[in-house]
Amino acid sequence: MASSTAPSLSVLAALLLSLGIILVLPQLVLCVATMTHSEGQENFDPSLSTPALTHEYQVFVSFRGADIRTGFKSHFFAALNHERIGAYRDDIDLPRGEEIGPELLKAIETSRIAVVVFSKNYATSDWCLDELMKIMECKRLLNQRVLPIFYDVSQSEVLEQKGIFAEALLKGPEDKINNWRAALTEAADLVGLHLEHYSLESEFIEEIVENIWTMLNEEESASAPSRRQIDVSGQHSEPIISPQNDASSRHNVISEWTPFFFFFK
């Protein structure tokens, strides 16, 4: 009798053990999968899939030197410097021995805002028009902000390429004229500032700088919270510290499944 009972107990024990494993195994698999997913999320680097553009400058200014270099341009850059707005300067930032074209194109790409100063002889410079084409390309592809400035020219002259703008384009190479026209039209159609609306050039420059501050503030608000915030008034506020990532969520997940690990000890 005892000999027949022993196998029965063994079979019963085996059945119970099998039942326990069947009940616990799905939970264990879920636990391991959850931990693996959590670790994968923690180690995931978004920059590996979507590289972030590095901005070296806050402002790039496109201008015709012959029109504004010794007057408006010098006062404008002085105002930007006074407000600690980092602007690209071709006479300072351009490395010696570098080709002008590629270096300036790189400066445009790595600037947050492009300020285009349309003056009477802007369209007489092939290089200014090439700059403008690059700026509008960056606006479309990189969401670069563009602020047109109409200095002693009307918006309609640039928008419709009338007067000196029409004359200048007629002298350009045929393979570029259409692209230049498109860039001029697109840029001039944006909201900009007009010198004729101000009695003093100093007031005009002050208004431009205030608009740049506003645009920078909007850019900073939309970027990573750890970056330094910029106030429209020109004052730098305290940087916002982003919360540090911790392992609390992963710890909670592991804690939920701790009894199952102890079950197998």
Residue 131 has φ and ψ, to the nearest 5°, of -60, -45
Q: Within a 13 Å sphere around the CA of 58, how many CA atoms are in the beta-carbon half?
A: 21
Question: CA 161, 193, 93, 145: dihedral to nearest 10 degrees?
Answer: -90
H helices within 123-231, ranges in order? Answer: 126-142, 155-159, 164-170, 174-188, 201-222
8 A C-beta contact, residue 180 and residue 118: no
Spot the catalytic one: 39, 98, 131, 256.
Answer: 131
Active site residue 131: yes
Three-class SS state of 61: strand
Identify the DSSP state of 60.
Answer: E
- Residues annotated as catalytic are 131
